[in-house]
Amino acid sequence: MRSFLITIIILVATSISEARQEPTHLVHGLFDNSDQTHVFYGSLDLDIPQFNIFNSLSINDVGDPSKGKYPVTPFTYDPNNDVAYMAAPNNQNRTILSVINATSGALLSNFSSIPNTIVSLQYDIFQKQLFAHTETDSENVTQVVEIDTASGNVKQILGAIRGAKPTHISSYCPICRKYFLIVLQDQDFVYLAVNTSDGGGISWEAVMNFTPVSMRFDYKTFTMYTAYINHTDDISSLVGIINRTLGGISKVVGTISDDPSLVVTSLSAYDVAENIYYASDVLSWPYSAGVSYVNVNTSQGKWIPLARDRYNSHAWFVKQFVH
Ligand SMILES: *[C@@H]1O[C@H](CO)[C@@H](O)[C@H](O)[C@H]1NC(C)=O
Ligand SMILES: *[C@@H]1O[C@H](CO)[C@@H](O)[C@H](O)[C@H]1NC(C)=O
Ligand SMILES: *[C@@H]1O[C@H](CO)[C@@H](O)[C@H](O)[C@H]1NC(C)=O
Ligand SMILES: *[C@@H]1O[C@H](CO)[C@@H](O)[C@H](O)[C@H]1NC(C)=O
Ligand SMILES: *[C@@H]1O[C@H](CO)[C@@H](O)[C@H](O)[C@H]1NC(C)=O
Ligand SMILES: *[C@@H]1O[C@H](CO)[C@@H](O)[C@H](O)[C@H]1NC(C)=O
Ligand SMILES: *[C@@H]1O[C@H](CO)[C@@H](O)[C@H](O)[C@H]1NC(C)=O
Ligand SMILES: *[C@@H]1O[C@H](CO)[C@@H](O)[C@H](O)[C@H]1NC(C)=O
């Protein structure tokens, strides 16, 4: 009897620990709803699915993500200090760079010292530096800069990109110390890398032969994943690996949708521990916004529809490596 009970206890304990080992599908980020004066910081648990709002921030203090010029709010996470950086325009169109406690969502500081629009933000988790892709006063000239996190001022300019329109698409390699971004030159998507070490420098890597929607660099495997739309036959939304030499996709690692009415959109997040790519999408009929995730190793994935009356997402990240 006793050994029977012990066996039961062991079985229950094992099943609990196995249940805990199931990867959870949790993204953190910025959300809003019909309240036009606030933006919310919280998480989205896709296994339920459910939004958990940790704090609301006044758009007077942090700017209004829904007025941003680009489809994704510039946002990046520093796991060393467990803080997040976001940029959004205020009512006077001034760019506000805010520092948020990534646990509580409390506003820690806000700056308005960057004179131009911020296109994207990237944090170097190893060198502990904040970088931004910013517009300048001249059309089709943008810059990658380092930002002093104490003052919100530009510390150094790492590269000026001329003759191209910026896009929100960017990613970062903290090992090779490069800010990767995609710009538009005429109708072409061009892939660039900007050194964030040794005083900077830009390399124009390749003209892409596909339509990227987002990209995420896995610095553990040195792989650039992208969510993209394949217009060839019927429209399909896929996740693939970018090969810069090829200027294209060297391998398709997952399908978000092969139904033309369900199309991938700009928001994304990547879980470097679980190898999962998250991407937002929309179903045109019946209208629904959702999230797809794809395990880039196994190609397995899932589509999660989200109720349209809840929250809109403006930025996502996977909160990991908190020190
Ligand atoms: C930063 O937020 C404070 C309130 O926390 C607000 O009074 C101030 O105007 C904001 N600063 C900027 C630059 O928007
Ligand atoms: C802010 O910029 C948008 C477009 O970028 C423009 O439509 C709007 O008039 C501007 N608002 C102010 C107060 O300058
Ligand atoms: C963030 O908030 C948490 C919970 O309130 C707190 O324990 C932590 O010290 C805060 N961190 C910073 C950097 O303010
Ligand atoms: C900026 O780039 C776009 C797209 O390549 C082009 O249509 C436009 O003419 C350019 N503007 C200037 C001022 O060069
Ligand atoms: C970027 O940095 C690497 C390593 O320091 C260097 O070899 C390369 O020439 C740099 N590229 C540019 C475009 O400056
Ligand atoms: C795009 O779709 C076509 C037709 O299904 C397929 O042959 C091609 O390999 C796809 N290309 C990419 C880059 O996904
Ligand atoms: C990338 O493309 C080039 C040119 O087609 C090819 O030689 C190379 O093997 C490819 N690399 C990978 C990792 O697929
Ligand atoms: C996923 O694939 C990469 C590259 O092939 C490999 O390094 C990594 O260990 C794999 N991860 C898992 C969880 O299987």
pLDDT computed for residue 276 by the predictor: 98
3-state secondary structure of 111: strand
- What atom of ligand 4 comes closest to residue 139's alpha carbon? 13
Note down the domain range covering 187: 23-197+222-319
Question: Which ligand places an atom closest to the C-alpha of 221?
Answer: 8
- First and final C-alpha spacing in the chain: 46
Query: What pTM was computed for the model?
Result: 0.91
Split into its structural domains, the chain has a count of 1
Dist CA 26 CA 59 (whole Å): 25
Cβ of 116 below 6 Å from ligand 2: no
Best residue among 225, 226, 243 to mutate for probing ligand 7's pocket (most ligand atoms within 8 Å of CB) is 243
Give 238 Cα–ligand 6 centroid separation in angstroms. Answer: 9
Q: What is the pLDDT of residue 21?
A: 53
Ligand 4 centroid to residue 157 C-alpha, Å: 23
Rg of the chain in Å (alpha carbons) = 20
Q: How far away, in angstroms, is 187 Cα from ligand 7 center? A: 24
* Per-residue pLDDT at 256: 95
Q: Is 233 in the pocket of ligand 4 (CB under 6 A)?
A: no
pLDDT digits (tens, 9 = 90+) for 226-282: 999 999 878 999 999 999 999 999 999 999 999 999 999 999 999 999 999 999 999
Ligand nearest to the CA of 209: 6
126: in domain: yes
Task: Supply the pLDDT for residue 244.
Answer: 92
SS3 281: strand
* pLDDT score, position 15: 44
Asked if the structure places residue 289 within a domain, the reply is: yes
Task: At 17, list the tokens.
Answer: 């620990």
Is pLDDT above 80 for 308? Answer: no
pLDDT in tens, 71-97: 999 999 999 999 999 999 999 999 999
The residue nearest atom 10 of ligand 1, judged by CA position, is: 61
CA dist 202 and 161 (Å) reads 8
Segment 5-63, tens digit of pLDDT: 444 444 444 444 444 456 689 999 999 999 999 999 999 999 999 999 999 999 999 99
* The two three-digit tokens of residue 293, written as one number: 């995730």
pLDDT in tens, 228-239: 999 987 899 999
- Per-residue model confidence (pLDDT) at position 232: 86
Domain assignment of residue 202, yes or no: no
Is residue 234 assigned to a domain?
Answer: yes
179-201 average pLDDT score: 96
Give me the sign of the Cα torsion angle 131, 132, 133, 136.
negative
Grade residue 111 by pLDDT with cuts at 50, 70 and 90: very high
238 CB near ligand 6 (under 6 Å) = yes
pLDDT of residue 254: 97
Q: Is 70 domain-assigned?
A: yes
pLDDT over 80 at 294, yes or no: yes
Ligand nearest to the CA of 41: 3
**Structural domain includes residue 212:** no
Least confident of 105-109, 287-291, 304-308: 304-308
Q: Sorting pLDDT into bands at 50, 70 and 90, what band is 323?
A: low
Q: What is the pLDDT of residue 138?
A: 96
At 101 the pLDDT is 98
pLDDT confidence of residue 5: 44
Q: Is ligand 6 within 6 A of the CB of residue 234? A: no
Q: Which atom of ligand 7 is nearest to the CA of 243?
A: 1
Of the candidates 224, 242, 237, the residue with the CA atom closest to the CA atom of residue 264: 237
- Is the residue at 112 inside a domain? yes
> Tokens 């104490």 appear where?
150
With bands split at pLDDT 50, 70 and 90, how would you rate the model's confidence at 315? very high
| Residue 202 Cα: closest atom of ligand 5 | 13
| Share above pLDDT 70 across residues of the chain, in percent, rounded to a whole number | 92
Q: Chain-wide mean pLDDT for the chain? A: 92
Residue at 11 is within a domain: no
Asked if pLDDT for residue 1 goes beyond 70, the answer is no
Determine the residue of 165, 189, 190 to mutate for testing ligand 4's pocket, defined as the one with the most ligand atoms within 8 A of the Cβ atom: 165
DSSP 65-86: GGG-SSSS--EEEETTTTEEEE
- What is the per-residue pLDDT for 22? 61
Ligand 5 atom at shortest distance from the alpha carbon of 177: 2
Under DSSP, is residue 65 helix (H, G, I), strand (E, B) or coil?
helix
